[in-house]
């Protein structure tokens, strides 16, 4: 009987220690990805063309990106989470091309005159309740991602966007709306593309308003 108890204790301890190791590894992967994203963010702001892909050593890998916010419940405090959550909430259920186009808009705004210098500040520009740039951020509802697969796709799109591996299919757009909507502000801008259920625009003077 004592042997069985001892074996159970040893087995439980081994499982616990293994879990701690896995958790530590996941934390390290997440921190590495977030650190890379912060560096890439600054480089994108400093580079007017925003077209040069990140060097291989600086690129966020797929496992690193997926290791960030695995449950979809993390606070929006890092570039990968902020961008992924925006892609998810604005275009979940749409084709990947639409998700990539939403990412293009965020990245086009990043560091541009009239917009902030970090992805999270771009996403959060405006008020939590009231006027804001992205509807999901000010609707008063939970910002947690609810579906695992679409969120994983959103994180992969965000990874490529931060690595500057996405072609800008919006042609410099900084604004968008769904096709079923007809906002008055759209008359002030140049329509650049229609992708999926979205229409994209950029300012006439190339300056944000």
* Residue pLDDT, tens place only, 73-94: 998 999 999 999 999 999 999 9
Confidence of residue 141 (pLDDT cuts 50, 70, 90): confident
pLDDT of residue 7: 52
Which band of pLDDT confidence, cut at 50, 70 and 90, is reported for residue 21?
very low
Which pLDDT value is given to residue 39?
93
Rounded CA separation 97/169 (Å) = 9
How is residue 27 written in tokens? 């934390």
Partners of 198 in beta bridges: 178, 195
- Report whether pLDDT(204) > 70: yes
Residue 8: predicted pLDDT = 52
pLDDT at residue 16 in the model: 40
CA distance 97 to 80: 19
Return the pLDDT at 207.
61
Query: In whole angstroms, what is the distance from residue 108 CA to residue 209 CA?
Result: 14
Percent of the chain with pLDDT over 70: 82
Contacts of 53 (CB under 8 A, 6+ apart): 59, 163, 164, 165
What integer best gives the mean pLDDT of the chain?
Answer: 86
């Amino acid at each position: 009987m004592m042997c069985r108890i001892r074996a159970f204790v040893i087995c439980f301890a081994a499982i616990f220690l293994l879990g701690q190791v896995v958790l530590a590894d996941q934390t390290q992967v997440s921190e590495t990805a977030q650190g890379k994203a912060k560096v890439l963010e600054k480089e994108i702001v400093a580079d007017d063309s925003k077209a040069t892909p990140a060097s291989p050593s600086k690129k966020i890998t797929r496992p690193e990106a997926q290791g960030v916010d695995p449950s979809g419940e993390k606070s929006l405090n890092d570039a990968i989470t902020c961008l992924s959550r925006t892609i998810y909430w604005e275009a979940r259920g749409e084709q990947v091309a639409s998700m990539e186009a939403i990412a293009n808009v965020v990245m086009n705004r990043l560091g541009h005159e009239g917009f902030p210098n970090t992805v999270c500040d771009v996403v959060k520009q405006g008020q939590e309740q009231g006027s804001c740039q992205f509807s999901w951020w000010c609707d008063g509802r939970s910002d947690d991602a609810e579906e695992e697969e679409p969120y994983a796709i959103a994180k992969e799109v965000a990874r490529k966007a931060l690595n500057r591996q996405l072609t800008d299919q919006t042609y410099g757009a900084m604004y968008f709306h769904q096709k079923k909507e007809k906002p008055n502000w759209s008359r002030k801008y140049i329509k650049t593309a229609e992708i999926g259920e979205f229409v994209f625009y950029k300012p006439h003077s190339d300056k944000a308003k």
